[in-house]
Structure formats: C-alpha cells, structure tokens
Amino acid sequence: MSNPLASYGEHPSGDAGQLILLGIFLIVWVGDSFFLHLSTFLTDYLPWYIRIIFLVSCLAAAAFLIKSSHGIVSHSQRSRGLVSTGAFKYVRHPLYLGCLLFYLGLALSTASLFSLFLWVAICIFYNYLANYEEKLLEASFGESYIIYQKHAGKWMPRRPFIYKDKDSAF
C-alpha cells in the first residue's frame, strides 16, 4: 500500500471530508436554526423540553462513544492488532457513531429540516468511510475481523453473546 494512512485503515480523504462536512453542517444549522428559520416550523409542534431531552441524550451518548474509543485508537497509542475492547466491543465504528449522534442532537434540538437532510448525507459519507475501512481491516486481519463483525454491529450494538463461541475471545 503506497498510502501511509491505508496501513491504519483510514480513507485518504476521510479527515478532510469530515472537517468540510462539519463546517457545512454548522453553517446550515446555525443559519437555519437561529437566523433564517426556513425549515424550523416543527418547533411549533415539538415542545422545547422534548428537543432538549433529545439533545442531551444524543450528546451524552456521543461523548461516551468518543471518549471511550478515542484513547484506544489515537495516533500515539495505536495498536497494530485488532481492537475489540471498550466501545469497539459493541460497535465497529464508535467514533463515527459518536459524530453522527452529535450532528443528530444538534439538528433535533432546533428541529431544522435542512440540518436533518444534511445529516442523512453525512450518514452516507460516514458509511462510505466505514465500508472502505472495513475492506482494509478484513484484508489485514482476515478471519479475526470476520468473527469480530459477527460480534459487534457496524452502527448498532448486537445482542451480547449471540455469536459466542468457546474458542472466541469475544
């Protein structure tokens, strides 16, 4: 592999794409939610306390996922082996899921339909990144990664012990 990031399982444009989408999302969310109010008419039907509950729930879950998985995969502490501990025990892409929950919490808190449509596009982008990385991880770790995929959901946790094998580390 000629790309140095490919050895870590990252898409070459992943970081830049994430930053660009973050900027676009924040511009759209702030512009629509606080200034233009073009697509926030649902706030008339969704009480503020319901929206705040969604916001706090999404941000708390996002913070947990990001905090519990970032230390495991940070560049300074990167393992050369397959990581299946912490949040990675339950979902294969906890950092991406945490980011998606952050976006969703903001969009739901102001009921901005433009932001929700943009969130769907961001989900598609993150899924593209995850698929790319999973191909690299499967090529690197082979059968171990395939077994891991059976235990940890891509985006949602699977029921525990559903694929429990006596020889499995899971």
- Spatial separation of the C-alpha atoms in residues 39 and 126, rounded to whole Å: 24
Which of 128, 126, 105, 125 is closest to 115 using CA atoms?
Answer: 105
pLDDT score recorded for residue 6? 46
| pLDDT tens profile 45-58 | 999 999 999 999 99
Cα–Cα distance for residue pair 22/98, rounded to 1 Å:
13
Q: How confident is the model at residue 4 (pLDDT cuts 50, 70, 90)?
A: very low
What is the number of other CB atoms lying within 10 angstroms of the CB of residue 139?
A: 12
The rounded distance, in Å, linking the Cα atoms of 170 and 167 is: 9
Q: What is the pTM of this model?
A: 0.87
The angle at the Cα of 134, spanning 131 to 139, to the nearest 5 degrees, equals: 135
Distance CA 23, CA 93 (A): 22
Q: What is the mean pLDDT of the chain?
A: 87
